[in-house]
C-alpha cells in the first residue's frame, strides 16, 4: 500500500544534504519513504493525501525522557518558582510514588505520555528507568520501558536511596541491578552531579555498563561545571545531556570527538552529542545550554524534552525548538535539525535503510522510516514565529497516520 502526500509548501528533509524543497511531495510505502521530490513529477500511488500547502518536517526524535513515573511534584515546582534552588533530592518523592504504583497503572501512565508526545509530532523516543532504585523495581521499569518507548535506558544511578551507603549502592548498580535490567535496555546513563554520583562512582557505573554491552549516556554539567563532559568524552558516550555549565576545555573536548566525522556523508568516527534540554533549563532557572557555541565549534547538538515530573513536565518538542530559536540563538533550520536528526544521531538511529526494518529516523530520505510531521503552517519558521501555538496538523509514525 502506497500513499502520495502532495501539495507540501515546504519540505524540510533534514537529510545529509540539508534540503528544503518547495511545492514538494512524498510517497510512503509501508513503513518506509519510497520517493521525495517535486509535486509536479510525483509518481502515482494507491492513495493520495493533499497537505493543503502546509509544511512537512521529519517527526521529532526525543532522545531524553523519563516517562515511567507516578505521583506529583507540583509543590516542589511552586517552591522553585518562589526562589528555592533545584537539587537532585526531589527525585526521591517520585521514587516513593512510582514504587507504590501497579504495573498496569505505570504502563498506562507512560503510554498516555507517549500519546501526548505523538500528538505533537514526536515519532521516536527514548525513556529511562531511575525511579525504582531497587533491583526489582529497576527491572520492572526496564521491562515496561521496553514496551512503551522505541529505546530504553538504564538509569539505576539516578540517586542514592535514603539510608543506603553510596558505595554499596554503586556496587548494586554495577552488579545485580545491571544484570536484572540488561535484557530490556540498549543504553546506560548516570546522574554525575553534586548530590547524586561522584566522578569515581560515575566512572564505575559507566565502565560496568559498557562491559555489559550497553551504549553510554551521561547526565552532566547541569548544576555547575563538573566531570560529566570529561567522563562522557573519555568513555566514548553517545551523548552528554544538560550541558548548562561548560568550560572552554569542555567545549573543546566535545568538539574533538567530532574531528573524524564527515557531516556531509554521515561517515567516520562519530563523537559525543551534546543534548540540550531547554524546557528543563527554564523550569529549574539554570542558564540555557550554550548550543550556539557548541554548534560553532563543530559539536553535533540535539534538543530533547527531558519530560519528567520534577523539572520538565512537558513533551513538547515544538516548545524546545521555539526556545532554541528565540533564546539560544539557533536558526529555525538548526533547531529543527537538533530536534530531529540530532536526536537520531544521539540514539544511533541516523543511518539505515535495510529491508529487514533497520531504518533511519530523524530525516526524510528514501529508505528511511516514514516518520512525518505536517504543520498547520506554510513553513517551519512558524514554530518560532508563533510560539506556543498548536501547529501539528498530521503525523505519520512508521508509515501509519497517527493524527
- Residue 354 binned pLDDT confidence (cut-offs 50, 70, 90): confident
In sequence order, which residues have a C-beta less than 8 Å from that of residue 73 and are 6 or more positions away?
90, 93, 94, 309, 310
Q: How many domains does the chain have?
A: 2
> In the predicted model, what is the mean pLDDT of the chain?
96
Percentage of residues in the chain having pLDDT higher than 90: 91
- Is 73 marked as a binding-site residue? yes
Residue whose C-alpha cell is 552529542: 273
pLDDT in tens, 311-326: 999 999 999 999 999 9
CATH number, residue 380: 2.30.40.10
Residue 379 has pLDDT above 70, yes or no: yes
Which has more pLDDT, 368 or 353?
368
Residue 92 has pLDDT above 90, yes or no: no
Is 346 inside any structural domain? no
**Is 66 labeled as ligand-binding?**
yes
Range of the domain at 38: 2-59+353-401
Confidence of residue 279 (pLDDT cuts 50, 70, 90): very high
Per residue in 8-17, pLDDT (tens digit) is 999 999 999 9
Identify whether the C-beta of residue 147 lies closer than 8 Å to the C-beta of residue 185: no
368 is an annotated ligand-binding site residue? no
Check pLDDT > 90 for residue 245: yes
How many residues are recorded in the chain? 403
Closest among 341, 274, 265, 336 to 301, alpha carbons compared = 274
Please check if 308 is assigned to a binding site.
yes
Mean pLDDT of 348-375: 92
The reply, when asked if residue 348 is annotated as ligand binding, is no
Q: Quick one: 379 and 323 in the same domain?
A: no
245 is in an annotated binding site: no
**The residue to which cell 530525516 is assigned:** 363
- Please state the φ and ψ torsions of residue 247, each to the nearest 5 degrees: -85, 170
Q: Is the pTM of this model over 0.95?
A: yes
The answer to the question of whether 284 is labelled as a binding residue is no
393 is in an annotated binding site: no
* Cell representation of residue 174: 554495577
Query: What share of the chain in percent tops pLDDT 70?
Result: 99
Same domain for 82 and 50: no
d(CA 185, CA 214): 8
Q: Are 68 and 36 in contact (CB under 8 A)?
A: no
Q: Are residues 96 and 55 in the same domain?
A: no
290 and 318 co-located in one domain = yes
Binding residue per annotation — 32?
no
The answer on 239 and 371 residing in a single domain is: no
Q: Is 310 annotated as a binding residue?
A: yes
Say if residue 311 carries a ligand binding annotation.
yes
Amino acid at each position: 500500500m502506497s500513499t502520495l502526500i502532495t501539495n507540501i509548501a515546504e519540505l524540510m528533509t533534514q537529510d545529509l544534504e540539508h534540503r528544503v524543497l518547495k511545492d514538494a511531495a512524498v510517497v510512503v510505502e509501508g513503513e518506509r519513504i519510497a520517493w521525495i521530490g517535486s509535486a509536479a513529477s510525483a509518481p502515482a500511488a494507491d492513495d493520495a493525501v493533499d497537505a493543503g500547502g502546509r509544511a512537512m518536517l521529519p517527526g521529532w526524535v526525543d532522545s531524553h525522557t523519563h516517562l515511567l513515573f507516578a505521583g506529583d511534584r507540583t509543590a516542589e515546582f511552586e517552591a522553585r518558582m518562589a526562589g528555592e534552588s533545584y537539587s537532585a533530592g526531589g527525585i526521591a518523592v517520585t521514587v516513593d510514588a512510582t514504587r507504590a504504583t501497579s504495573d498496569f497503572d505505570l504502563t498506562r501512565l507512560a503510554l498516555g505520555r507517549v500519546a501526548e508526545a505523538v500528538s505533537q509530532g514526536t515519532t521516536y523516543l527514548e525513556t529511562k528507568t531511575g525511579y525504582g532504585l531497587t533491583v526489582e523495581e529497576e527491572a520492572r521499569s526496564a521491562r515496561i520501558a521496553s514496551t512503551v518507548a522505541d529505546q530504553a535506558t538504564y538509569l539505576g544511578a539516578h540517586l542514592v536511596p535514603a539510608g543506603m551507603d553510596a558505595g554499596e549502592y554503586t556496587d548494586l548498580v554495577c552488579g545485580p541491578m545491571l544484570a536484572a535490567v540488561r535484557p530490556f535496555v540498549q543504553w546506560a546513563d548516570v546522574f554525575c552531579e553534586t548530590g547524586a554520583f561522584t566522578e569515581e562512582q560515575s566512572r564505575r557505573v559507566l565502565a560496568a555498563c559498557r562491559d555489559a554491552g550497553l551504549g553510554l549516556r551521561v547526565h552532566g554539567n547541569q548544576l555547575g561545571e563538573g566531570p560529566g563532559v570529561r567522563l562522557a568524552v573519555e568513555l566514548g558516550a553517545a551523548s552528554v545531556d544538560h550541558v548548562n555549565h561548560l568550560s572552554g576545555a569542555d567545549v573543546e573536548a566535545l568538539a574533538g570527538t567530532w574531528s573524524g566525522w564527515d557531516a556531509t556523508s554521515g561517515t567516520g568516527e562519530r563523537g559525543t552529542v551534546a543534548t540540550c534540554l531547554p524546557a528543563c533549563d527554564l523550569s529549574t532557572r539554570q542558564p540555557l545550554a550554550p548550543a550556539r557555541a557548541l554548534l560553532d565549534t563543530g559539536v553535533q547538538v540535539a534538543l530533547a524534552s527531558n519530560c519528567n515530573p520534577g523539572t520538565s513536565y512537558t513533551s513538547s518538542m515544538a516548545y524546545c525548538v521555539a526556545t532554541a530559536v528565540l533564546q539560544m540563538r539557533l536558526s529555525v533550520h538548526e533547531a529543527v535539525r537538533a530536534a530531529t536528526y540530532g536526536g537520531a544521531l544521539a540514539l544511533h538511529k541516523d543511518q539505515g535503510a535495510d529491508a529487514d526494518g533497520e531504518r533511519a529516523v530523524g530525516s526524510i530520505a528514501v529508505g528511511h522510516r516514514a516518520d512525518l510531521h505536517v504543520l498547520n503552517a506554510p513553513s517551519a519558521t512558524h514554530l518560532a514565529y508563533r510560539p506556543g501555538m498548536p501547529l501539528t496538523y498530521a503525523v505519520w509514525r512508521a508509515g501509519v497516520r497517527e493524527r
